[in-house]
Structure 1
Amino acid sequence: MGNMKRLRDLEQIKQLQCLLGRSAELDEAIDNLTLARNMTRSCADMTIEHLKLGFGANHLVPTRG
């Protein structure tokens, strides 16, 4: 009976290691998406400022978003 418990414990350890690996992958993906979102916002902000400087704020047309 002791060997069966050890096998179940080992299987649970393997499952936890798999879940932790997936969690790390998800954390990395979230970090990458957050970075991409921030870079996109930064580029959009710079574009808006460039348009304001080049054309004046009166020429900006609201966009759907």
Structure 2
Amino acid sequence: AKKSGDSFVTVERLLTALAVEKSAKTADILSKAGVTPQALNQVINDVRKGRTADSASAEQGYDALKKY
């Protein structure tokens, strides 16, 4: 989270960490599903549009579901 300038650990950063951690079973599951840490970071950056998580409710402001 700090690397991306966030003050809070968001769900998407937690998922990215689980994808990066080779010893985690989740990394294997995500890899088999074709999900890479790089792809996750790209999607997160696209959704956030340069915004950072500076509050516990920051995820609500990303408009991720707006297109639906």
**TM-score range normalised by the length of the shorter chain:** under 0.3
* Higher relative contact order structure (alpha carbons within 8 Å, sequence separation ≥ 6): 2
Q: TM-score, normalised by structure 1?
A: 0.23
Q: TM-score, normalised by structure 2?
A: 0.22
Q: Which entry has the higher C-alpha Rg, 1 or 2?
A: 1
Q: Which has the higher helix share?
A: 1
